Amino acid sequence: MTTHSTLVSLRITDEEMSLLDARVGLDGARNRSDVIRAAIRLFLDGQPLLPDMDTITIPVGRSMKSRLGDLYEMQGVSPEQAASQGLQDYVRRLIKEEAELNDTLAEGLLESRSKTVGRKEFTE
């Protein structure tokens, strides 16, 4: 049983048509329409849930794709959840490293100041 669909005309460049044709036969796409429908679904599904949110795209290789599949199978963690958690951990680590660097610099400054001998003309 097929779902009702509407015919839509579309103008694209020759280069876009070549790229479109190159995707036919991949990921189950039998024809150009399948490729276009998949691209539309991917675009719409990838839209942020809230107006102030952005979406990023992260290309992954075969090995990482396999590992993400294993992670989902074992832990139920989707690739999107893993990427989001990874970004949060990365930002936290950078903030922590910056804070540690600032602390180190502040300690060095205090130590340098303690070793400085004040000149009489500046301390009066």
Q: Which of 14-28, 43-57, 83-97 has the highest mean pLDDT?
A: 83-97
A 10 A CB-CB count for 35 gives 20
Query: What type of residue sits at position 39?
Result: A
Chain centroid to Cα 10, Å, comes to 30
**Spatial distance between the Cα atoms of 26 and 100, rounded to a whole number of angstroms:** 49
The H or E element containing residue 71 is: helix 62-75
- Contact 102/108 with Cβ under 8 angstroms? no
Q: Which of 11-25, 34-48, 91-105 has the highest mean pLDDT?
A: 91-105
Asked if residue 121 has pLDDT above 80, the reply is no
Asked if residue 2 has pLDDT above 80, the reply is no
Chain centroid to Cα 38, Å, comes to 21
pLDDT of 51: 81
| Residue 90: C-alpha distances to residues 48, 95, 104, 116 (Å) | 21, 9, 21, 39
**Spatial distance between the Cα atoms of 96 and 93, rounded to a whole number of angstroms:** 5
